[in-house]
């Protein structure tokens, strides 16, 4: 029975790839109007470069003048007063812990150490990128079908929830409550590279949300978005009906000349390794002006920010926070693996995890959190374990997550 199921899954996957490939090939035969529109979009996205850097992974980054980056094409950012030396006013910071385990840099550059001051790295977009990215699925649905119950104890029975549009979640979260006022959240996440095929993607993310607005940061394996199966840094925002990854549309203002928002994480963790490779990241609200900053690594590198003015709901505080894994496959295609590709067993050397889960209150103070819930959309394919006090000391809240998806596990 299992062998027959695997054969059916593989057959459906091959059929989907063939259909998708033919569709994309058809789109390569562009009309004059479509070609013209693509050229306009490329010109809008690919700004004039002060310097160009090619990475060892084959990516090309243009070092773009800070003031000419794509973020400022947003109609609400036309008359901004931002500058290359802009700094946030933050109450942080979570003290360094286990820094030896952190993978501080994506290490994507060759001989250079990034872009010159006053410029920011923007990944050059090609026509093939734009054609492929037409197949990026819509974002996850905001609302879930049923209320969640507290299940801090990993031995408690877990309820299943059905996500719309092909998404499967295995997360720990602070459920949405209109009375919540979060000025940010943070985590340290282990880095993995699950095997993903073209129409699928898999993600580890930190997400904060209020209403129809949300912010995300983490790592992602996504051939549709990136054109490869490498583990990459990503950011995403949703403001009402608008949603966008990285710098593919205006909104996220980059300030760092070193860390591109779509850079490769290499090396990544191998299951059973004694040394786990991980990265810390934080999303925090500047209490002086409401801008939402992304901080990266143990040194709290300021990567960039989402300006307050592009949001409605997140113009104020967030009301929910999530940590963990998300997997996506379109209808008829087997679910991809998530995290380490194995169900969690509660061991950080074998499991994908998010640790040091923390939030900031409305005064910007870092707060330990105990009252969290778990959400697993498909417990036959994915799992999550919520361990608020994994070991002694502050900020030791752990979320173990992962699973093989619709493929056979070798764990």
Buried b (16+ CB within 10 A) or exposed e, 1-12: eeeeeeeebeee
Contact present, 279 and 103 (Cβ < 8 Å) = yes
Render each residue's pLDDT in the chain as its tens digit; 411 residues: 333 334 334 333 333 333 333 334 334 567 877 778 888 889 888 999 999 999 989 999 999 999 999 999 999 999 999 999 999 987 655 444 443 333 444 455 655 678 999 999 999 999 999 999 888 998 887 544 334 334 444 443 343 444 457 999 999 999 888 999 999 999 999 999 999 988 899 999 999 999 999 999 999 999 999 999 999 999 999 998 889 999 999 999 999 998 999 999 999 999 998 899 999 999 999 999 999 999 998 888 999 999 999 999 999 999 999 999 999 999 889 999 999 999 999 999 999 999 999 999 999 898 888 889 999 999 999 999 999 988 877 668 999 999 999 987 778
**What are the phi and psi torsion angles at 314 (to 5°)?**
-85, 15
Domain range for 231: 32-91+107-139+164-403
Q: How many CB atoms lie within 10 A of CB 126?
A: 12
pLDDT in tens, 3-22: 333 433 433 333 333 333 33
267 located within any domain:
yes
102 located within any domain:
no
20 located within any domain:
no
What's CA 335's distance to the chain center, in Å? Answer: 18
Give the C-alpha separation, 311 to 287, whole Å. 15
- Quick one: which of 190, 183, 188, 204 has its CA closest to 96? 188
Strand partners, 354: 189, 399
Give the C-alpha separation, 107 to 369, whole Å. 33
Supply the pLDDT for residue 114: 84
Buried b (16+ CB within 10 A) or exposed e, 284-295: bbbbeebbbbbb
Q: Rounded to the nearest 5 degrees, what angle is found at the Cα of 118, between the Cα atoms of 183 and 218?
A: 40
Q: How many CB atoms lie within 10 A of CB 352?
A: 31
**What are the phi and psi torsion angles at 238 (to 5°)?**
-130, 125
- Quick one: which of 209, 188, 214, 147 has its CA closest to 375? 147
Q: Looking at 263-328, which runs of residues are DSSP E strands?
A: 278-285, 292-296, 301-306, 320-328
151 located within any domain:
no
204 located within any domain:
yes
DSSP codes joined into one string, 131-184: HHGGGPPPPPPSS-SS------STTS---B-PPSTTEEEEEEEE---TT--BSE
User: What pTM value is reported for the model?
Assistant: 0.85
Supply the pLDDT for residue 33: 79
248 located within any domain:
yes
282 located within any domain:
yes
Which burial class, exposed, middle or buried, applies to 68 when counting CB atoms under 10 A from its CB (0-12, 13-18, 19+)?
A: middle
Supply the pLDDT for residue 271: 94
3 located within any domain:
no
Which helix (H) or strand (E) covers residue 119, if one does? strand 119-123
Give the C-alpha separation, 342 to 382, whole Å. 8
- Largest Cα separation within the chain, whole Å, is 64
Quote the number of domains for the chain.
1
Supply the pLDDT for residue 104: 46
What residues contact residue 116 under an 8 Å CB cut-off, 6+ apart? 50, 51, 63, 257
pLDDT in tens, 147-167: 433 444 444 334 344 445 799
């Amino acid at each position: 029975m299992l062998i027959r199921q695997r054969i059916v899954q593989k057959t459906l996957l091959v059929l989907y790839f063939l259909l998708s490939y033919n569709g994309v090939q058809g789109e390569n035969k562009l009309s004059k109007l479509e070609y013209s529109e693509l050229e306009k979009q490329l010109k809008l996205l690919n700004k004039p470069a002060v310097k160009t850097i090619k990475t060892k992974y084959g990516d090309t980054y243009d070092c773009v003048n800070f003031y000419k980056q794509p973020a400022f094409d947003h109609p609400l950012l036309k008359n901004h007063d931002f500058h290359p030396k802009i700094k946030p006013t933050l109450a942080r910071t979570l003290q360094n812990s286990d820094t030896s385990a952190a993978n501080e840099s994506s290490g994507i550059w060759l001989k250079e150490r990034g872009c010159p001051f006053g410029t920011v790295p923007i990944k050059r977009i090609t026509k093939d990128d734009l054609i492929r990215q037409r197949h990026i699925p819509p974002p996850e649905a905001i609302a879930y079908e049923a209320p969640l119950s507290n299940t801090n104890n990993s031995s408690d029975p877990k309820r299943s929830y059905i996500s719309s549009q092909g998404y499967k979640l295995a997360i720990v979260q602070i459920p949405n409550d209109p009375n919540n006022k979060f000025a940010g959240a943070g985590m340290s996440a282990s880095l993995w590279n699950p095997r993903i095929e073209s129409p699928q993607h898999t993600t580890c993310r930190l997400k904060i949300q209020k209403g129809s607005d949300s912010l995300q940061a983490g790592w992602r394996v996504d051939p549709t978005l990136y054109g490869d199966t490498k583990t990459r840094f990503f950011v995403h925002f949703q403001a009402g009906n608008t949603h966008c990854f990285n710098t593919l549309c205006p909104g996220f203002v980059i300030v760092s000349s070193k860390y591109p928002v779509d850079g490769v994480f290499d090396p990544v963790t191998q299951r059973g390794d004694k040394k786990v490779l991980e990265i810390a990241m934080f999303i925090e609200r500047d209490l002086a002006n409401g801008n939402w900053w992304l901080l990266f690594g143990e040194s709290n590198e300021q990567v960039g920010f989402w300006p307050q003015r592009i949001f409605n709901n997140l113009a104020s505080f967030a009301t929910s926070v999530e940590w963990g894994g998300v997997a996506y496959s379109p209808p008829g295609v087997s679910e991809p693996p998530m995290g380490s590709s194995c169900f969690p067993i509660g061991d950080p050397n074998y499991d994908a995890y998010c640790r040091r889960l923390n939030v900031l209150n409305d005064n910007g103070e870092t707060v330990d959190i105990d009252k969290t819930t778990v959400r697993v959309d498909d417990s036959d394919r994915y799992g999550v374990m919520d361990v608020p006090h994994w070991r002694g000391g502050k900020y030791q809240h752990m979320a173990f997550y992962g699973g093989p998806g619709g493929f056979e596990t070798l764990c």
